[in-house]
Amino acid sequence: MTGGGTAPPGGGRGARQAERPEARPRSAREAYRDLLPSLMLADDRLYCLDSDTGLFDREAFAAVPGRYLNLGIAEHNLMGTAAGLAASGKVPFVTTMATFATTRALEAVKIDIAYNGLPVRIVGTHGGLAAGHLGPTHHALEDLAITRLLPGFTVVVPGDARQAEEAVRQSVALPGPVYIRLGRSATPDLDDPVPGPASRPSETGPSETGPFETGAFETGAFETGAFEIGRAQWLRRGGDVALVACGPHPVLAASRAADLLEARGVRAAVLNLHTLRPLDADAVVAAASGTAGVVTVEEHWRSGGLGGAVAETLAEHAPARVARVGMPDAFAERAGGQADLLGVYGITADAVAAAALNLTGAIHGGGTDDPDLSRV
């Protein structure tokens, strides 16, 4: 493994961000758009199937004639065509809005792609509330629950534009179908990973031995890691509570919540669990070990997505308290910008910090009933 680095003094985002030159943030979908033509030029198995998203410029594919196909707003046909190409030895990248990929076209995804184990890469843009201005018909709050249930699927939620590029690159070599969820708007690059508890990868669950005992973050062996599908990234070390998130806005909220908690004397670990399947069970168990519990943060309904995956894993391997921060069991009542809706429905740093304080309060006595964390 390469990459990573040491945590900045105090562990906050500000110190690390100050070390970087200023650059215009990119969206994950922009990174995907800019990378895919060059990958296709280097590998003649790759195809781009579009659904009239407006994301791509046809001229960008001039060097790979015949391999950019815009099938229009017909997602079921899009998936069937992708399955046919994949069955013929090609590796198609299918691009459409996340909710249409996983609801409107679900039968074709399930039967044509998943049932046959075909190497189709479904890239769902406008994940979560990214299309908030278009209303609930365009919100994707169920896509992770759906795709992580389909046999053989790999499910990835990159945390920033750089991770989106890596997810796309690495997906080419993976067997079977892959779902990559991307956002719409530009977001800052995440902090570099910090060393996390070293563990041996396991296909059956957490290792029987390893630094999962109480205080693992204080005394255990550590490893660093660049983005790798299937292996979580530790963004911050802390032994009181663990914040586990996926996706750009939730991971940023978790990182900012860790700063709020530090001001209250609570040390929070932050784990970017960018791959929901295969889930890094070792990292989840290590995150919970010796802490008051785990707060999951996701731009998704609280059922079935990241929170469900983490709770299932801990229930089976290392029971612990789990508090889930995500979209409540309701459709959004109005259209609005993504940041506005995230605030309205409590997917914020304040809400994450409040949930973490409630967990630590259950162990140490106290906690907070202030969902806005107004006293911080």
Which pLDDT tens digit goes with each residue over 320-376? Answer: 999 999 999 999 988 899 999 999 999 999 999 999 999 998 545 444 444 444 333
Evaluate whether 362 touches 320 at the Cβ level (below 8 Å): no
Determine the pLDDT at residue 131. 86
pLDDT of residue 157 exceeding 90, the answer is: yes
pTM for the model: 0.84
Identify the three-state secondary structure at position 23: coil
- Mean pLDDT over 27-36 rounds to 93
Determine the pLDDT at residue 4. 35
Residue type, 247: G
Structure tokens at 9: 């003094």
pLDDT in tens, 290-306: 999 999 999 999 999 99
pLDDT band at 23 (very low <50, low <70, confident <90, very high): low
Q: What are φ and ψ of residue 279, in 5° steps?
A: -80, 140
124 burial (CB, 10 Å; 0-12 / 13-18 / 19+) is buried
pLDDT in tens, 187-207: 888 866 765 665 443 333 433
**Spatial separation of the C-alpha atoms in residues 205 and 286, rounded to whole Å:** 12
- Mean pLDDT over 48-59 rounds to 92
Higher-confidence residue of 151 and 3: namely 151
Output the CA torsion 320→372→158→295 (10° steps): 0
**Spatial separation of the C-alpha atoms in residues 33 and 366, rounded to whole Å:** 49
- Mean pLDDT over 63-85 rounds to 96
pLDDT in tens, 241-292: 999 999 999 999 999 999 999 999 999 999 999 999 999 999 999 999 999 9
Q: In the β-sheet with 268-272, what is the strand arrangement from edge to edge?
A: 233-236, 268-272, 241-245, 294-301, 322-327
pLDDT of residue 13 exceeding 50, the answer is: no
Evaluate whether 236 touches 266 at the Cβ level (below 8 Å): no
Mean of pLDDT over the chain: 85
Determine the pLDDT at residue 195. 59
> Which domains, and CATH codes, for the chain?
28-181 (3.40.50.970), 190-364 (3.40.50.920)
Determine the pLDDT at residue 186. 83
Determine the pLDDT at residue 212. 30
